[in-house]
Structure 1
Amino acid sequence: MKFTDGQWMARAGLTLHRLEAMGDYHIDANGVTLYVPTNRVQTRGDTLNATMITLRFTAPREEIIRVQISHFDESYGSSPHFTIYEQEGFLPVIEDLEDKIVLHSGQTRVEIAKSGRLHYAFYHGARLLTECSAGSMAYIIGPGEAEINRVNGNFAAYAPDWRRPDRFIREQFSLSVGENIYGLGERFTPLVRNGQSVDIWNKDGGTGSEQSYKNIPFFLSNRGYGVFANHPEQVSYEVGSELTTKTQVSVPGETLDYFVLGGADMKGALSNYTALTGRASLPPAWSFGLWLSTSFTTDYDEQTVTRFIDGMAQRDIPLSVFHYDCFWMREYQWCDFEWDKRFFPDPEGMLARLKAKGLKICVWINPYIGQKSKLFAEGKAAGYLVKRLDGSVWQFDMWQPGMALVDFTNPQACAWYASKLEALLEMGVDCFKTDFGERIPVDVQYYDGSDPAKMHNYYTHLYNKVVFDLLCRVKGRDEAVVFARSATAGGQAFPVHWGGDCTATYPSMAESLRGGLSFCMSGFGFWSHDIGGFEQTAPPDVYKRWAAFGLLSSHSRLHGSNSYRVPWNFDDEAVDVVRYFTHLKCALMPYLYGQAVQTAQTGIPMMRAMVLEFPQDAACAALERQYMLGDNLLVAPIFSADNQVTYYLPEGRWTHLLNGKVYEGGRFYTEEYGFLSLPLFVRPGSILPIGNQTGRPDYDFADHAALHLYGFEDGMQASCSVPDQKGACALEAQATCSGGVLTVHVRTDKPYSLVLHGAVPQAVKGAAFEETQEGVLLTGCQTSVKITL
């Protein structure tokens, strides 16, 4: 939200109260409290009839500084609140110096000037992260709701009547020359947020606009810091779009609460953010395989479903999960969680027959209860549905006629909703697609008295938590996975999320990738999308290109709206493409699942924008059509009918995984690829573990794994960890190259092999070796091998 008219003037009808010199301060063991007037105080009389802002600086965890700003004491707002994971026993180090106060949190610190108009700066070591200069923080008063709407659009309409829609607090963070801002959720606009205005407000708007299903009030800077606004309600950002040198955050009301997260680099700051707000649970290995859906509005019954599943098996396309979309329930009755007996007369038997084929089963759900559903009367009578301000049940006709919302602030409503899903789990269902959760009204009341303006974004968190907690309780945490569309901060704890309603075109495929990379830079570790696009039916070339992209994402699902997405419906080559890349993903599972374990432990996402992995490479700053899949694989999907792709390789000698060709990095390439290939490169100095199975994603990853060594040169060192299906390390390898000798140590009780790429060794100690088409195969390896290059 914009408040100024140019650099100096406020917009019509607005009064900006900016901070002046510090009036007083107090230091205790936990932090620093400042008392700062918004007027110049020259005499005692100037302290009367004045506005004063209170600022509190604390450190809940190492490398993180919290700033709480308040005009009137609202105790930083009513419920709901994000869960904040503080570091037990941690206290900052505080220095009260002659000219400034310094609060240290590990290597991150804030320096608060004592003289002049209040300003403060954040550092990591000797490096300036960002600063809030004099006048950056402001308390803003408007003339009232009508004028705010006239001047700035319908922002105030989001607030219920009893909130003050004409009070805001704003903070501005300096933007350095060359600084780029990323994140703020799954956004489909350009990856670099500079120049954009962003409102954190979940909407069901598809993937082709500035709206987003997953709005996260956290941004990440390429200078190695992040800022998280601790507000579930709407937060507004102006990223160099109001003042070109500032990133501005503002919220309605009397308080602003934010965290500055330092780090040695972008990955360090992102890891600190997920330590603060929660990290993803490790999804089960089977969830990384191929998911096939009935699609949305198609006609299907058990015979149709079985024909598709058997067709995939006959064509040697490994399938891990079959998903039933909306119409597994009868029309107008969503959600009653009962199978439509016209098409599924024996659901228990059907699920048993499918599971005998080795499949997991997913079914679509949402948190809306249509009036025709028998659960509507049940929920209404028990008080389990969200109510209007007058106490009646809130209802709406968009989506389901007369639909209501489950009130997840009511523990009994949560148990009631979960009991309906538990019956499906007992029947044989394994997981749920938790769709919707964005169109949440604010003219309502909740069981626990939660602020409805804050519940709009937060509702999805409670919804997904109820479902995920049920799966943990019934299936066990190591088997729990959802397929969610909406999210807010902290929702990364309930993987997996997918990108929503995209269109079957190359531009929509590209916007989906932008959204996914932005989402993964906002604290979420796992992400998927509808292969081939959701709306419309893709031409064969788009479907095939999307299949390669989808099967080189963390999670992979064939899904659409009004047509079946089995590959033989497109052309014969589509079958070959889906088969090839599904087999490839299964073979890569020792690497991919090792990366998934790392994501769960550190919060660093599996799919990474290039800038996250190579922040010092200026060419990577705005790349949004390629990504790193884990530490060591670079993927550049193809987005054109002419089969051409332009991509960038950072410095070093990169090896194409599929053809073994070595490329010099530090430059862009433009090439043409057939449908059974794409730019897929292994990072120089990598150990890439590849499994011995291509028919399923869940197997013993360490058993007979092949450890492929790529592009080692003097000074390089690398390691890899191959987990078992519980995430425990089953094979560990380290490699160091020094003085022309590559030393490899492996620790495992399983048989394995080593394959050296890019060089023929002059001598090998500890193994026999032979040249093969794939590379130099080293056999008879024990725990240590020395290779003279």
Structure 2
Amino acid sequence: MSKVFSWVLTTASALTLSLAPLFALAVEHYQSHRITPQGVVLTTDQGEVSVEFYNPHSVAVWYQPSGVTQLPSLLIGNPAQPVELALASNEQQLTLQSDALQLVISKSPLSIAFYRDGELLTRDQAGLIQADGQLGFDFSLAEQEKLAGAGQRVLGMDRRGHKLPLYNKAHYGYSTESSQMYFSLAGILSDKNYMLLFDNGATGELDLGHSQADQLRFRAQGGRSSYLLVAADTTPELIQQYLAVSGKPPLPARWTLGNYASRFGYRTEAEARAVVQKFRELKLPLDAIVIDLYWFGPDIQGHMGNLDWDRQAFPSPEQMLADFAADGVKTILVTEPFILTSSKRWDESVTAGAIAPGPDGQPKTFDFYFGNTGLVDVFNPKAADWFWQRYQELLAQGVGGIWGDLGEPEVHPADTNHYLPGIGLQPADAVHNAYGHRWAELVHQGYRRDFPAQRPFIMMRAGSLGSQR
């Protein structure tokens, strides 16, 4: 099974979708504005547009058309800091300026140009574009501009000229090239020293000058209609300014930087103990052992979702964990968000309301490689609580870290629904790329609440912008 460490702007994946319907430019016109401590809120003929500085280098633009549901931010992790701003207005435009950025907001039709030290970085050419239930933005690109980012893909560093799916998806056996992988990110880093990041976890597409050489196009099947622009003098400074808004990764425990034993897989407690002993006999360093899916069942298929030890193969797991820990070896267990209907937890998970529903409101079931299954609705607080209780039990036994596998999710039927508090049910495509992020978040929150003295170890193979925190 693939194990992937994914860090900011090193990620990605997606279903080769064709967002074929042509987007009509929904021209928006300024009507008025009001000043806020962090910027301005524009009232337009279609709703409101919030322009909010989080620090002098970073500004979030959030289009909120009337009557359109907006999903929570994934990207923003820290509150806005006090920023000194200057605002000027005339009949044609507003100019909003910090010490590091200048925004020129044209009133009719609405568009926003971003400048640093008098140089145009990029322009939001038409505001929010809506058509056929999808949303998007178009931004200008300079002739020689190079674009990195967009997540985990095997395409070389400069992604300009590519049309990239935004849909976290496993790509097994990809060899020397892949445009779609586990961990996609809806954003780019330009060699003009700015980042443009779309705060959206929906299924979508990022067109980096492929369809039109001088234009970046973002499209999504729902989600949040917001983006963040960050600018600085150097790439390291740019990353720091981004993290000041989105949140820094927690400091990992020292052992996580050590040597791991891992294979697919250790089938028994005796085998795992023998491997640790062999490392010691050979005087090889060992800080952790990663145990794949045989810890919860004897076969690859039919057992996923047990989320408990197979005590035929691992008769004394608590003692094994304690013995490994005494020897300086942490134990990391694989877990998945799929609960098979053949697993020991199926009835329990259904009773707890943990399984994402289908169109009929009943737990959605479907077939995939490992068996007939349902998917834990990590967005639903009831489901998240039930899922965390399983992790709490394992960590209390002495498990040292959590590996979250198949979290794209690997199979995510379009007619699956997810419950978001305060919003209601949302279709799979509106939240697909947010799934791994929310899974990691619920595990992290549980660690901090129930095991505050333990630095979390969470190894996820899928996520989104903001998952680093």
Deviation, 1:479, is 2.1
2:461 and 2:127 map into 1 onto residues whose CA distance is 35
Deviation, 1:464, is 1.4
| Contact 1:407-1:413 within 8 A present in 2 as well | yes
Residues 534-574 of structure 1: CA deviation (Å, up to 9, x unaligned): xxxxxxxxxxxxxxxxxxxxxxxxxxxxxxxxxxxxxxxxx
2:258 aligned with 1:283 = no
2:390 aligned with 1:412 = no
Secondary structure at the aligned position of 1:468 is classed as: helix
Match of 1:195 in 2: 161
| Contact 1:101-1:113 within 8 A present in 2 as well | yes
Cα gap change, 1:91 to 1:301, in 2 (>3 Å): same
2:322 and 2:30 map into 1 onto residues whose CA distance is 72
Whichever residue aligns with residue 374 of structure 2, its letter is A
Residues 585-627 of structure 1: CA deviation (Å, up to 9, x unaligned): xxxxxxxxxxxxxxxxxxxxxxxxxxxxxxxxxxxxxxxxxxx
Secondary structure at the aligned position of 2:184 is classed as: coil
Cα gap change, 1:277 to 1:206, in 2 (>3 Å): farther
Cα gap change, 1:23 to 1:118, in 2 (>3 Å): closer
Residues 718-759 of structure 1: CA deviation (Å, up to 9, x unaligned): xxxxxxxxxxxxxxxxxxxxxxxxxxxxxxxxxxxxxxxxxx
Deviation, 1:173, is 2.0
Q: Which moved more, 1:252-261 or 1:484-493?
A: 252-261
Query: Please, what TM-score do these two structures have when normalized by structure 2?
Result: 0.84
Residues 193-230 of structure 1: CA deviation (Å, up to 9, x unaligned): 10111121111223722222112212111111111112
Deviation, 1:275, is 2.2
Deviation, 1:192, is 1.1
| Contact 1:120-1:132 within 8 A present in 2 as well | yes
1:57 and 1:172 map into 2 onto residues whose CA distance is 17
Structure 1 residues 84-483: aligned runs within 5 Å = 84=76, 85-90=78-83, 92-97=85-90, 100-113=93-106, 119-133=111-125, 136-137=126-127, 139=129, 141=131, 166-206=132-172, 208=174, 209-252=178-221, 256-293=225-262, 295-296=263-264, 298=265, 300-330=267-297, 331=299, 332-438=302-408, 439-448=411-420, 449-452=424-427, 453-476=429-452, 479-483=455-459
User: After the TM superposition, which segments of 4 or more aligned residues of structure 1 sit over 4 Å from their partners?
Assistant: 52-56, 88-91, 116-119, 252-255
Deviation, 1:321, is 0.3
Secondary structure at the aligned position of 1:310 is classed as: helix
Whichever residue aligns with residue 446 of structure 1, its letter is H
Match of 2:51 in 1: 57
Higher relative contact order (CA 8 A, sep 6+): 2
Cα gap change, 1:451 to 1:191, in 2 (>3 Å): same
Residues 404-434 of structure 1: CA deviation (Å, up to 9, x unaligned): 1122233233222222222222222111111
Cα gap change, 1:300 to 1:169, in 2 (>3 Å): closer
- Which of 60, 64, 87 aligns to 1:66? It is 60
Unaligned runs of 5+ in 1: 4-10, 37-51, 142-165, 494-789
Cα gap change, 1:74 to 1:86, in 2 (>3 Å): farther
| Contact 2:205-2:220 within 8 A present in 1 as well | yes
| Contact 1:202-1:486 within 8 A present in 2 as well | yes
Structure 1 residues 457-536: aligned runs within 5 Å = 457-476=433-452, 479-493=455-469
Deviation, 1:18, is 6.0
| Contact 1:237-1:248 within 8 A present in 2 as well | yes
Unaligned runs of 5+ in 2: 1-16
Cα gap change, 1:218 to 1:139, in 2 (>3 Å): closer
Query: Please, what TM-score do these two structures have when normalized by structure 1?
Result: 0.52
2:348 and 2:454 map into 1 onto residues whose CA distance is 33
| Contact 2:417-2:425 within 8 A present in 1 as well | yes
1:327 and 1:469 map into 2 onto residues whose CA distance is 27
Secondary structure at the aligned position of 1:403 is classed as: strand
2:70 and 2:327 map into 1 onto residues whose CA distance is 50
| Contact 1:283-1:478 within 8 A present in 2 as well | no
Deviation, 1:58, is 3.1
Percent of aligned pairs with the same amino acid: 24
Deviation, 1:314, is 2.4
Q: RMSD of the TM alignment (CA)?
A: 2.8
Secondary structure at the aligned position of 1:182 is classed as: strand
Alignment size in residue pairs = 438
1:109 and 1:242 map into 2 onto residues whose CA distance is 29
